Structure 1
Amino acid sequence: MSHLQVNFNTISLLFISLVVATHAQGGLFNLPDVGKSLKDIATGVSKDITSYIPTPQGIFESSKNLVAGYPFEAVSSAINTICSSALSSQTIRSRVTPDLRKIQFQLRTSCNKYSYPLLDANQIWQSPEFDSTKKVVILVTGWTTTVNNSDTIDVLAKAYNCRGDVNFVAVDIANFVATLYTWAALNTDEIGASLAKGIDLLTQVVPLENIHLIGHSLGAHIVGAAGRYFNYKTGKLVPRITGLDPAKPCFNEGHVLSGLLRGDAKFIDVIHSNPGVLGKREPMGDVDFYPGGLDPLPKGCLDVVCAHGRSWVYYAETVYPGNELNFMAKRCTSQTNLADNKCPGAESPMGYAVPHALRGNYFLEINSAAPFGKGANKEKLLSQANCGLCVEKTYK
């Protein structure tokens, strides 16, 4: 409902209230007084009305979501319901069973890629470029991506290698998620259980508090399952899981596939960039961020694929040194209230430097093009264009 509709509805309600009130006072109906009251209300609305007239950019953003955003959300919701019902009836079985011997960890440095079997993860610390004194970030991507042709992995590896204080590891599970979506979804739980075994092996040389799991789309549900199974196996919780626009279709709490759940790690932060379509709209973590609000398509995106990928783009921007505070958010109930300065409390950063004590839903404004954070320094980001890349060669 628009602000104009709210104001006109308010006028109508006030008029009715005035009539009822005068009737209750002995049936007296003082038309001059009522007329004056309505005139005062109209004067107040007219003074404020210019702030509610949409800008051309606002009209474009609204129409864009009406044409290319919300219709897809309706379709996605229908698919989600059908998929969950079919899975519950046990009429769907994955035809691609994960061969755990073929799933690998891939250590990504600025210049090299080292792959190690997931079930023999202790090999990874034998790499000459693995530093057990550093933190370990493990990234799992989503449907149809592979470890050697993923922008998500390339961009995040570059950002973390720029920091230089992390062993960045991607999980190669493409053969088991690059398939029919429902089959891929069914594989997430088993892959997560296997990943938990690999994490357990890693903790033999890396302190558990130094491990951070990140997952995009289906990958968010895989790292959620990994955290859950690791807890079952060891009684311990991984310190942090970051969910980047966790996949919506087929995943619903309380159904066959629940996906990422609060409690799968000590702290879970989630970034929603395509809420309601390819990504979940509902809060899933200890803190959930909604950059640009609940519209399916954020500023600068004309399709859901772009929107779904924005979550990892936003996160990667915050990883570069000095950019940790690019995306400042406030705990709030809506993007509208945020724009109207109706969200009390201090701002907190989304992404790399998120405080682990945060709880609730946070909203923030974004830019339509890179850099996307409102607090970004373009010159600084330009100066980091080659940071994290190999001085000998670059990856495409």
Structure 2
Amino acid sequence: MLLSHFPMLAAILLPLAAAQLTLPGLPLANITQAAQELALQTEQYVAGVPLALAISVINKLCSNVVATGIIQSQVQPNVSRMHFQLRNNCHRDSFPLLAAEEMWRSPNFDPKKKVVILATGWTTNINNSEAIDAFEKAYNCRGDVNFVALDVARFIDTLYVWSALNTEIIGEYLARGLIHLSHIVPIERVHLIGHSLGAHIVGSAGRHYQELTNSSLRRITGLDPAKPCFNEGEVLSGLLRGDAAFIDIIHSSPGVVGQRGPLGDVDFYPGGLGPIAPGCLALDLDCSHERAWQYFEESIYPGNEDNFLAVRCRSLSSLREGKCPGMAYPMGYSTPMSIKGDYMLDVNSRRPYGQNAGEGSIDVVGTTCGRCE
């Protein structure tokens, strides 16, 4: 059965099915039984269609539930419990969002350096995130950035729909935190990066920052922005072009766990428009979804900036056939803010993922550069 093979889909679908059946006065046991029956019926339907279409069914169900207001998050974000965690020089210092200006007191913070803030996705937390640890190592290796992780896990490590509903208000709180941060670092030196649900959090932050200050953040990077529940023009629109002066997107699971259509000023499709990333199994949705941050991570290391060169093109097959003669530009850390459109590139199925990695490139796994002992 499809859902038994894809626990991520099951975790999203069952609460939605229950919400569709929630009626005043209906006993909880009846709701649960009915939800399980509806989930089974839905599973039997989606098992016979391609995975991308199955996700579309779930996405539509989620949109309907969110639009009706049947589901309200039972874990309401509380700004006093949200923090910036500075990870510089192998030290970790936490600061409340609304006291971000206190970061300058830390001996590990350098106000002359730019600031990169990473927001991760569903079910991750500040103390158990492979992405945060990997980015910390990469930026420590570069040595020219204050790397900060957004600590809001208790509000996105819940039922998926609750977590999705929380992205907008978390983004607003993040925007207010950025105003405090701008007291010690010019906002044009701040770069927001978000993976999965985190991409929609930073998108919300960009919108709210504009509303609060009448100015825009310089750059937001979305790493495989989550697809279920987020659709342009609906209650949850998520990260979109215009949320910052420049939006760049890396799609690694387009149309399945991640969004397929273009969302930013520039959208990169490593491996093309297929939903499964090179080197990942079809049954392992997490593998494809996580590739986006792994590609970006690889590009951070000194000497790896040009590992992923992409060309503006409509499809990977057109690129391979030589039908896209434009210039190649780097995806990831060094993406120029002047480019626009959809860009395609081939990637390797294992590290180094970038096909343009040369002899001078750093081995992400083997290097000790930036490692904290």
TM-score normalised by structure 2 residue count:
0.85
Aligned to 1:121: 100
Alpha-carbon separation, structure 1, partners of 2:351 and 2:105: 38
Note the C-alpha offset of 1:378. 5.8
SS in 1 for 2:310: strand
Any conservation in 2 of the 1:296–1:304 contact (CA below 8 Å)?
Answer: no
Do structure 1's residue 191 and structure 2's residue 191 form an aligned pair? no
The alpha-carbon distance between structure 1 residues 378 and 308, as it changes in their structure 2 partners (threshold 3 A), is farther
Aligned to 1:35: none
Aligned to 1:95: 74
Note the C-alpha offset of 1:365. 0.5
Q: Which has the higher helix share?
A: 1
Aligned to 1:52: none
Do structure 1's residue 165 and structure 2's residue 147 form an aligned pair? no
Note the C-alpha offset of 1:380. 3.5
Alpha-carbon separation, structure 2, partners of 1:133 and 1:350: 26
Aligned to 2:85: 106
Q: 1:228 aligns with which of 195, 198, 207?
A: 207
Q: 1:203 aligns with which of 170, 182, 193?
A: 182
Q: 2:53 aligns with which of 74, 82, 88?
A: 74
Do structure 1's residue 298 and structure 2's residue 277 form an aligned pair? yes
Alpha-carbon separation, structure 2, partners of 1:177 and 1:377: 39
Aligned to 1:241: 220
Any conservation in 1 of the 2:115–2:189 contact (CA below 8 Å)?
Answer: yes
Q: CA RMSD in A?
A: 1.3
SS in 2 for 1:382: coil
Q: 1:387 aligns with which of 356, 369, 372?
A: 369
Aligned to 2:331: 350
AA aligned opposite 1:121: A
The alpha-carbon distance between structure 1 residues 371 and 259, as it changes in their structure 2 partners (threshold 3 A), is same
Note the C-alpha offset of 1:379. 6.3
Question: Between the two proteins, what is the percent identity of the paired residues?
Answer: 56
Note the C-alpha offset of 1:91. 1.2
Deviation sequence 1:356-383 (CA, Å, 0-9, x none): 0110000000001000000113663238
Do structure 1's residue 282 and structure 2's residue 261 form an aligned pair? yes
SS in 1 for 2:363: helix
Q: 1:266 aligns with which of 245, 248, 254?
A: 245
Decide which structure has the larger Cα Rg and report it: 1
Aligned to 2:345: 364
AA aligned opposite 1:252: N
AA aligned opposite 1:389: R
Aligned to 2:317: 336
Alpha-carbon separation, structure 2, partners of 1:295 and 1:273: 9
Alpha-carbon separation, structure 2, partners of 1:382 and 1:251: 36
The alpha-carbon distance between structure 1 residues 90 and 237, as it changes in their structure 2 partners (threshold 3 A), is same
Alpha-carbon separation, structure 1, partners of 2:361 and 2:299: 12
Alpha-carbon separation, structure 1, partners of 2:109 and 2:203: 25
Any conservation in 1 of the 2:312–2:326 contact (CA below 8 Å)?
Answer: yes
Give 5+ residue unaligned stretches, structure 1. 1-67
Aligned to 1:8: none
Alpha-carbon separation, structure 1, partners of 2:360 and 2:287: 25
| 4+ residue segments displaced more than 2 Å | 377-380
Alpha-carbon separation, structure 2, partners of 1:346 and 1:75: 37
The alpha-carbon distance between structure 1 residues 107 and 376, as it changes in their structure 2 partners (threshold 3 A), is same
Deviation sequence 1:322-354 (CA, Å, 0-9, x none): 110000000001011011111121111100111
SS in 2 for 1:373: coil
Equivalent pairs counted in the alignment come to 323
Any conservation in 2 of the 1:371–1:378 contact (CA below 8 Å)?
Answer: no
Note the C-alpha offset of 1:197. 0.5
AA aligned opposite 1:348: Y
